[in-house]
Amino acid sequence: MSSRQRSRIPGSLTVSLALLFVYVMVAAGTLQPSGFARTPQDTTRTIVSDDFTVNRPKATTRRNSARRGNNPTAGESSSGRRYRLASESSAGVVTRSSLLNSSQLGLTIWKLRPGARKSRSRLPGSEIGADTFGWIAERVEADTGFRWGDRLRLSIESPRTGYLYVIDRDWFTDGSLSLTKLIFPIRGDNNLLQAGRLIDIPAEGRPAMTAEPGENQAGEILTIIVTLTPLRLALSDEPMPIAHTQLLEWEEMWGGTAQRYEMEGGAGQIRTIQEQQAATSKGMRQLSRDDPPPQTIYLVNSKRSGAFLFSVKLSYAR
């Protein structure tokens, strides 16, 4: 992928000089989830997560006009939103014990389309759902096949405090991988995860990523790391190479299995103004309990408490 004013990331994930934007939920101990509830029936296939809502602040005002336009569920309480299992279960049967002792990742992938006004004014909210470049962001599921030229943003959210790191590698049809690079954070990025705050990649105000798959490239592998304390890394102004041995060390310490759950009826919903504001670097606002939850939730069983690591595959359609 690429963007204007970009710095090159392996193969197709080329983004602007400062990066942020995958909706993450955190590990055991103080990162342990408390409100990941099961539905009464078919608990291995369907879940209801309250962690994103109960840890967010309460809404100060009711937004009665939020149902207008093309986003009918905006403004509704997200409590009790149902998620279906969308991946093969590599972590075994979901039980009450595994739910309570697992970490969570909330990821929303946004696919962009031009707004009706095609506005390039840098006034957020000039069109409902439009970003500062006039693009409308719509939710897609994590297994969507992206095509050349697709513009994307990623959102990450956590119900508990932690520190986020994102590593990118190109993934090829023969199973090989490209060099390993840390694409978030770079120098100046705020990688602190807090309930109700979104981390966007690329950062708010920067052009979106553009899909530009290389020859024989099947997709991207994003490795997500969440820690209790910051890692001691000498960050640079651009994505930074990470030694393969270092990644193997982190995988040995924190790696885990993950199950992917998708919000039922979430794909196609337009990003709300509240979600845009919660992703600003200035931390203008937090998402409230009435704001939409992540599109995708990953339930992660990690090796140790205090941190977790797992990978997300983004695929290209041919």
Which of 56-70, 172-186, 270-284: highest mean pLDDT? 172-186
| Cα 139 from Cα 81, distance rounded (Å) | 15
The closest alpha carbon to 59, from 74, 37, 71, 81, belongs to 74
Cα Rg of the chain (Å, integer): 18
Q: Decide if 6 contacts 170 (C-beta within 8 A).
A: no
- The pLDDT score that the predictor gives to residue 129 is 60
| Cα 171 from Cα 141, distance rounded (Å) | 19
Domain boundaries defined on the chain: 6-56+72-316
- The pLDDT score that the predictor gives to residue 71 is 46
| Cα 23 from Cα 259, distance rounded (Å) | 15
- The pLDDT score that the predictor gives to residue 79 is 56
| Cα 252 from Cα 218, distance rounded (Å) | 26
* pLDDT of 115 higher than 70: yes
Token representation of residue 203: 């950062």
- Which pTM value belongs to this model? 0.77
Token representation of residue 144: 């969507």
Token representation of residue 264: 């039922």
Token representation of residue 31: 């990162």
pLDDT tens string 217-275: 999 999 999 999 999 999 988 899 999 999 999 999 999 889 999 999 999 999 998 89
* H helix count then E strand count, the chain: 4, 19
Q: How confident is the model at residue 294 (pLDDT cuts 50, 70, 90)?
A: very high
Q: State the SS3 of 61-81.
A: CCCHHHHCCCCCCCCCCCCCC
